[in-house]
Amino acid sequence: MGVVVTSATPRVSVVIPTYQRCASLKRALEALTAQTMRPTDFEVVVSVDGSTDGTRDMLAEFEAPYRVVTHWQPNRGRAAACNAGIHQARGALIVLLDDDMQPAPEFLQAHASAHNDGRRRAVMGAAPIVHVRNETPAARYVRQKFNQHLCKLGETHHTFALRDFYSGNLSIARDVLIDTHGFDEGFTIYGNEDLELWWRLQAAGVDLSFSETAIAYQHYSKSFRELAHDQVAKGRTAVLLVSKHPATRERTKLDSLDRQRWLKRALLHTLLAATRLVPGTLNSVISTVAALNAAHVPGLTRALALVLDYCYFAGAESADNQSSRERPRAVAVP
């Protein structure tokens, strides 16, 4: 059953999972004070996933025209933090917002309007990455790649694929999330918890749409080293996703290695073979490219794409190997 809306119950609950991003979170909260939606019509639920950077103190002192609910838990990952926030929320419509987002004034009204027809749907809002001065080659690569992806999502008659889905700027009815059991908390590291959720939402008959007006600007601040380790984690969680839903395999990147162009394919196979022989290879490659990125070496884009794919496949191989070691072996009967 959905949330019953009364005069004391907000229409919308903004759920923000956060970890170690106090300043970014404060920027998001300040942006929400400027919404065109009346502050009595929404609340903000901040789900703090074990932050130790002053986030709790900032929240205790933050003054807002809207209701702010704070939940704190030991670090358990984004999926668990989202679920905790969803269960604390009172609004009939949940808007999930990442802590590095800065919503535009019309953000909440656009999300609410997208659900006026009463259909069971999830709405992804645009989340363009903001250009900053002196951005590194890696930051430029991420910004251009993701913003081009948003342009495709906004095309008329775009057919959504599994990997199109993201939940950093997403609205969906609370009762739909509750009925489908929210995020899978088995995903404790970066990546694929949103794709796993969307796989189940599709099976439950939920439609997906994209709103260019429900915009929240994304402030990307990760170093190359952080980005690379995210890709390793994403490879690992892709294996976890497929273990739970085998039919998703062909929709992930896991089987794409041998479809790469011959040179990139050969380089990836060489790097992965070296990693099997010398486990320190992965960290050495990441450290080398991180230094080149910090030095703003020109012409690094192709190398970045190669190394990030290598990190993904290395993470996937690591997860596959771990699964093989943990799988019970058949006992021979004499």
How do residues 194-222 score in pLDDT, each as one tens digit?
A: 999 999 999 999 999 999 999 999 999 99
17 within 8 A of 98, measured Cβ to Cβ: yes
Q: Is the pLDDT of residue 331 over 60?
A: no
- Global confidence as pTM: 0.92
| CATH, domain 12-221, list 3.90.1150.10, 1.10.3470.10, 3.90.550.10, 2.60.40.10 | 3.90.550.10
238 within 8 A of 192, measured Cβ to Cβ: yes
Q: What is the mean pLDDT of the chain?
A: 93
**Numbered ranges of CATH 3.90.550.10 in the chain:** 12-221
> pLDDT tens for residues 150-188?
999 999 899 999 999 999 999 999 999 999 999 999 999
297 within 8 A of 255, measured Cβ to Cβ: no
Please give the radius of gyration of the chain, using alpha carbons only, rounded to the nearest integer.
Answer: 21
Q: Is the pLDDT of residue 329 over 60?
A: no
> pLDDT tens for residues 215-224?
999 999 999 9
The pLDDT assigned to 118 comes to 80
Q: How many CB atoms lie within 10 A of CB 299?
A: 7
The pLDDT assigned to 147 comes to 97
Instruction: Give the residue-averaged pLDDT of 69-75.
Output: 96
pLDDT band at 1 (very low <50, low <70, confident <90, very high): very low
pLDDT band at 110 (very low <50, low <70, confident <90, very high): very high
DSSP sequence for 163-186: GG---SEEEEEHHHHHHTT-S-TT
> pLDDT tens for residues 3-13?
333 447 899 99
Q: Is the pLDDT of residue 259 over 70?
A: yes
- The string over 46-84, giving b where at least 16 C-beta atoms fall within 10 Å of a residue's C-beta and e elsewhere, is bbbbebeeebeebbeebeeebebbbbeeeeebbbbbbbb
Q: Residue 85 to residues 70, 78, 150, 176, 318: CA-CA distances in angstroms?
A: 8, 10, 27, 15, 32
Q: How many CB atoms lie within 10 A of CB 166?
A: 19
Instruction: Give the residue-averaged pLDDT of 308-315.
Output: 98
CA 201 to CA 120: how far, in whole Å?
A: 10
> pLDDT tens for residues 21-34?
999 999 999 999 99
pLDDT band at 301 (very low <50, low <70, confident <90, very high): confident
Token pair for residue 220?
Answer: 């990307």
Using a pLDDT cut of 70, give the percent of the chain over it: 95
> pLDDT tens for residues 32-48?
999 999 999 999 999 99
Residue with tokens 């790469």: 260
